[in-house]
Structure 1
Amino acid sequence: MSLFQRNFYALLQDHHDGSTPMIEKRTAQRHRVFKGGTITFENGGIPCTVRNMSVGGAAIDLDAPVMLPQSFTLSISCDDFVRNCRTVWRRDKRVGLAFVQ
């Protein structure tokens, strides 16, 4: 077993208690980022912090737990990035987004 494999399995053991299997549902690799963004929708917009991104979606942090509409737009002005989104999961102020076409 390579050093990489040993470190990977040790990391899994440190973060998983073994009671349920860990299943990765993402189809694309995510990349950590820390960028300011804006969620915009029909009646306004709110600032957010983009924490990670992949080809298919992103995870964002909001300043407070708020209700989001069914579909909205994520913009990251420093990257000229604009994508239509929908919410996939939510944990308090963190929201997982899927990009839609």
Structure 2
Amino acid sequence: MRPKPSCLSPLVDFLREQSAILSDHCSSCERSDLTMNVSSASRDGPMGSYGEIIFDSPSPAVDCRVSNLTAFAATLTVPAGLVVPDGFTLAIAGEVVMRRCRVVWRRRGRVGVAFEMPA
């Protein structure tokens, strides 16, 4: 077994903590039901999954489409003309954990985001 790179240690620790929290709340669930499915975009078809952008301000949340989903980033398709702030929270349909996002690129109607890892 290869040793894990030190840069992944915070992520691994965070995922273990989240798994423990979920298992406490869902003692009747199978352990496999608690693991994060990073291929959900391909499972949900070519258009990806539905998501919701939750702003830090009191503005209402906005629906979006999530594609190219990985453990670290995603592409969001947003309504035309929407000004997406540099940072926000993303909720993806069917997933328990919400992700804090940082915008890394912008194109007309689409934004690329990186998921911020907890400190």
TM interval, shorter chain, is 0.5 to 0.7
Runs of at least 5 residues in structure 2 that lack an aligned partner in the other structure: 1-37, 42-47
Report which stretch shifted further, 64-73 or 30-39: 30-39
- Once superposed, which parts of structure 1, at least 4 consecutive aligned residues long, lie more than 3 Å away? none
Alignment-derived partner of residue 48 in structure 1: 64
With over 3 angstroms needed to count, the CA separation of the structure-2 counterparts of 1:32 and 1:78, relative to structure 1, is: closer
Match of 1:3 in 2: none
Matched, 1:93 2:118: no
Show structure 1 runs of 5+ residues with no match.
Answer: 1-29
The whole-number CA distance in structure 1 between the counterparts of 2:81 and 2:68 is: 18
Q: Show CA shifts across 1:10-38 (max 9, x none).
A: xxxxxxxxxxxxxxxxxxxx857111000
Counterparts of 1:55-66 in structure 2, within 5 Å, are 55-66=71-82
Normalized per residue, the structure richer in strand is: 1
Say which structure is richer in helix: 2
Residues 52-100 of structure 1, C-alpha deviations (whole Å, 9 max, x = no match): 1112110010121311222100101312231000110011011100111
Percent identity for Structure 1 against Structure 2: 35
Note if 1:83 corresponds to 2:99: yes
Amino acid at match of 2:51: G
Q: Larger radius of gyration, structure 1 or 2?
A: 1
Query: d(CA) in 1 for partners of 2:67 and 2:104?
Result: 15
Q: Measure, in 2, the Cα distance between the counterparts of 1:82 and 1:66.
A: 21
Equivalent residue for 2:86, pick from 43, 50, 70: 70
Against the structure 1 CA distance between its residues 64 and 81, is the aligned structure 2 distance closer, same or farther, given a 3 Å change threshold? Answer: farther
The 3 A distance-change label for structure 1 pair 31 and 95 is: farther
